[in-house]
Structure 1
Amino acid sequence: MRILIIGNGGREAAIGKKLAEDRRVTQIFFAKGNATTEQIGKNISLTDNRELVNFAIREAVDLTIVGPEAFLVSGIVDDFTKAGLRIFGPSKKVANLEGSKAYSKKFMQEYGVKTASAQIFSSYVEAEAYLKTAQYPLIIKASGLAQGKGVVLADDKDEALKIIHDFMIAKIYGDAGIKVVIEEYLKGFEASIICFSNGKDLIPCIAAKDYKRAGNNHTGPNTGGMGSVAPSPEFTAAHEEDFRKNILEPTLRGMKDNYLMFSGFIFFGLMVTDKGCHLLEYNMRSGDPETQVIMPLLENNLLDTINDCIDGKDIELKFKDEKAVCLVMVSGGYPGKYQTGYEITNLNRVNQSSVLLAGASSKAGGIYSAGGRVVNLVATGASFDEARKKVYEDAKTIQFDYAYYRDDIAKF
Structure 2
Amino acid sequence: MPKSNIMDTYGRFDVIFKKGIGCKLYDDKGTEYMDFVSGVAVNCLGHSNPAIIEAITDQVQNEIQISNYYWNDKAVKLSNRLTDLSDHEAVFFCNSGTEAIEGGLKVARKYGKIKGGNKKNIIIYMDNSFHGRTMGALSVTGQKKYQEDFEPLIGGTTNAKFNDIEDIKSKINEDVCGIIIEPIQGEGGVVCADSAYLKGVKALCEKYDALLIFDEVQCGVGRTGSLFAYKKFDVIPDVICMAKGLGAGFPIGAVMTNKRASVLTHGDHGSTFGGNPLACAVGCAVLDELVDNKILDKVDDKSDYMVSKLKKLKEKYNIIEEIKGMGFLLGLKLSIDVSEFSKRCFEHKLLLITAGKDVIRILPPLNIEKEDIDKFIIKLEEVIKTF
Smaller-chain TM-score bracket: 0.3 to 0.5
| TM-score, with length taken from structure 1 | 0.34
Tell which has more relative contact order, 1 or 2 (C-alpha 8 A, sep 6+).
2
The answer to which structure has the higher strand fraction is 1
Structure ranking higher in helix proportion = 2
